[in-house]
Amino acid sequence: MTRIHVMSDTLANKIAAGEVVERIASVVKELVENSIDAKSKNIIVDLIDAGTKEIKVTDDGVGMDKEDALLAFERHATSKIKKDEDLFFINTLGFRGEALASIASVSKVDLRTSEGEVGTHVHIEGGKLIENEECDARRGTIITIDDLFYNTPARLKYLKSDSTELANVTQYMEKLALANPSISFTLTSNERKIIYTSGSGDLLKVIHEVYGYTVSSNMIEINYSSDDFDISGYICKPVVLKSNRNHMTTIVNGRVVKNADINRAINDGYFNHKPDIKYPVVVLNIETDPTLIDVNIHPSKADIKFSKLEELTEILKRIVDEALRKTLLVREMEINANVVAPSVIIKEDNILKEDGLFKTEEQLQMDYTKVEVNEVKHTFEEAKENVIASSDETKEINEDIKRLDLTPKGIVMQTFIIAEGEGGMYIIDQHAAHERINYEMVQKKMKEATVNKKIMLFPLTYEFNPSDYQLLINKKDVLEELGFTIEEFGINTIAVKEHPDWLREGYEDVLIKSIFDILIEDATKFDRMKFLNRVAATTACKMSVRAHEYISLEQAKIILDDLFKCDNPYNCAHGRPTIVNYSAYELDRMFKRVMN
């Protein structure tokens, strides 16, 4: 008797559902992507109890006739591809024909659809057809999923809490909205509106609708074209950073993807502009020839393969870094981010002039208990005014900030330099500023064709365990390129006889140890550029004046002058801000000299 047999369609669909339908967000993803492929302009997702009880998706797409409405629930039934060659030219979000069959096998599905004439109503429970009838005509599709996993209790048991499931759905809907700015998306949960986008076609407006004013007003526009890739979208200034990568949205040929290499390249573009533990808000569209990518590598189509990945990652790192370097990045402190400052404030004796209106200081004084803060909802137009395009014009702004003529007035807590300039009061972190100066000095020294070396009167010796010793010896050429002359000195021991002249005198031992540690740590996945950057950053940090270390005002002035000669005066080598600005208006507001 044969032991091998063909599974029933219902059983096969339940097994397939294990890969396609992982959680509530997976169902929403598949249904909404079908609506997008159907050329919908308005898509509404209504959830009850975060979708555990009901998921309803309404669209105004092309709809289906009676025959297609039934075929849509058959396994591997699709309108997206017809022949083998179509796999190389996929331009739709769905194409396998598995999602609806899988969803229907583990839930109760109610479908109402029409091409604009006769409507079709299909009801399926656990993969079995219950109803198939005509219904009212409405162009588009309404599909309702009830009691997900009702017939697979093990899967139902492992759904997360309602709040977690709703958070995952919300996050994916946000990304779909960012990927499709010309479509209006609405998400509700228990009749409470969570997401709404207008479908205006303006990506920056969608960013404003999803993330709000603070993010949308701190975006930098990106536009780049090459023979293989067209890249457009927005990246945030380093003043807006998040604690995880969830806000890095990359869209390839209209598909939201999670690709670790792409995210890493974007993050590397922020190197020296932010701390390592923080991540940017990014929305980037990458358009390329469909033959250069493979979207058929993951059950949920969440990742893709690139045939020219190395070229793409290098482009992303470069254009992100260049856009940030051309942008004014001095951090401005706002006493109340919801209040718009007047454009002109001029003090004359006891009179304050605000946009042509004169008031005495007595009129400006007010009892603190009577102060009312006016909450102003920032509009998209206000946010758009602050967005910087990635162009040569921004470089002029960058050069202006480098020419700031700041006069140090004092040093607070032996850490912060207080300076005055045309823009108001500036607070400079003495260590971060000096670190930036030394970092760029070391980098320039590294790039020089001839490395100047210092011969050590007494060579320094370092003993390692066998594995670390082998790693260092294998990278001996890297150390020699930096300007070190090293020799083997007994068992698992290295002697350093010469070192590059950019090592600060008196700090040679600690700096050499740090460089060896970095090389050992990076040896297994060695990246020359990252290694050199880490060496420069670590060296600069240890060579620089420390927090709580006394410096004179003369030394502070030298630090300020040297800082504004740097290519990037805004951040230390580890991404922390070097300088913060309080405008005259903001200071007046702090002391209630102005009340609007």
Q: Where are the domains of the chain?
A: 9-196, 203-325, 403-596
- pLDDT tier at 2, thresholds 50, 70, 90: low
Cα–Cα distance between 210 and 175 in angstroms, integer? 9
Q: Dump pLDDT digits (tens) for 273-327.
A: 887 778 899 999 999 888 887 765 555 556 678 888 889 999 999 999 888 877 7
Lowest mean pLDDT among 195-199, 269-273, 309-313: 269-273
**Which class for 254: exposed (0-12), middle (13-18), buried (19 or more C-beta within 10 A)?**
middle
Mean pLDDT score of the chain, rounded to an integer?
80
User: Residue 594 pLDDT > 90, yes or no?
Assistant: no
Which pLDDT value is given to residue 449? 76
User: Residue 503 pLDDT > 60, yes or no?
Assistant: yes
User: Residue 18 pLDDT > 70, yes or no?
Assistant: no
DSSP 245: G
Which pLDDT value is given to residue 355? 38
Using the structure block, give the residue that is written with the tokens 């139902």. 156
Q: Which whole number is the average pLDDT over 156-162?
A: 75
Strand ranges for 501-596 from DSSP E: 579-582
Q: Which whole number is the average pLDDT over 183-208?
A: 93
Q: Dump pLDDT digits (tens) for 26-43.
A: 899 889 988 998 899 999
Which pLDDT value is given to residue 351? 35
Orientation of helix 203-211 relative to helix 162-179, angle to 10°? 160
Which pLDDT value is given to residue 385? 73
- pLDDT tier at 155, thresholds 50, 70, 90: low
The CATH topology of domain 403-596 is: Ribosomal Protein S8; Chain: A, domain 1 (3.30.1370)
Lowest mean pLDDT among 361-365, 405-409, 413-417: 361-365
pTM: 0.67
Lowest mean pLDDT among 85-94, 283-292, 380-389, 515-524: 85-94
Sign of the Cα torsion 454, 459, 460, 461 reads: positive
Q: Which whole number is the average pLDDT over 339-345?
A: 35
Which pLDDT value is given to residue 398? 53
Q: Which whole number is the average pLDDT over 403-414?
A: 87
Contacts of the segment 401-405: beta carbons below 8 A, 24+ positions apart: 401/328, 401/330, 401/564, 401/569, 402/564, 402/565, 402/566, 402/569, 403/564, 404/564
Which pLDDT value is given to residue 349? 38
Q: Provide CATH code, domain 9-196.
A: 3.30.565.10
- pLDDT tier at 527, thresholds 50, 70, 90: confident
Q: Which whole number is the average pLDDT over 442-458?
A: 87
Class level of CATH domain 203-325: alpha beta
Q: Which whole number is the average pLDDT over 510-533?
A: 82
**Which class for 208: exposed (0-12), middle (13-18), buried (19 or more C-beta within 10 A)?**
buried
Which pLDDT value is given to residue 466? 81
Q: Which whole number is the average pLDDT over 221-248?
A: 90
Contacts of the segment 408-417: beta carbons below 8 A, 24+ positions apart: 408/553, 408/556, 408/557, 408/560, 410/553, 411/551, 411/553, 411/556, 413/548, 414/547, 414/548, 414/549, 414/550, 414/551, 415/547, 415/548, 417/556, 417/559, 417/560
- pLDDT tier at 86, thresholds 50, 70, 90: very low
Please answer whether residues 446 and 482 qualify as being in contact, where contact means their C-beta atoms are separated by less than 8 angstroms: yes
User: Residue 337 pLDDT > 90, yes or no?
Assistant: no
Q: Which whole number is the average pLDDT over 551-573?
A: 90
Query: What is the four-CA torsion angle of 355, 356, 360, 364, rounded to 10 degrees?
Result: -30
Cα–Cα distance between 178 and 552 in angstroms, integer? 51
Please answer whether residues 114 and 120 qualify as being in contact, where contact means their C-beta atoms are separated by less than 8 angstroms: yes
User: Residue 552 pLDDT > 50, yes or no?
Assistant: yes
The highest-confidence range among 177-191, 398-412, 536-550, 558-572, by mean pLDDT, is 177-191
Please answer whether residues 237 and 273 qualify as being in contact, where contact means their C-beta atoms are separated by less than 8 angstroms: no
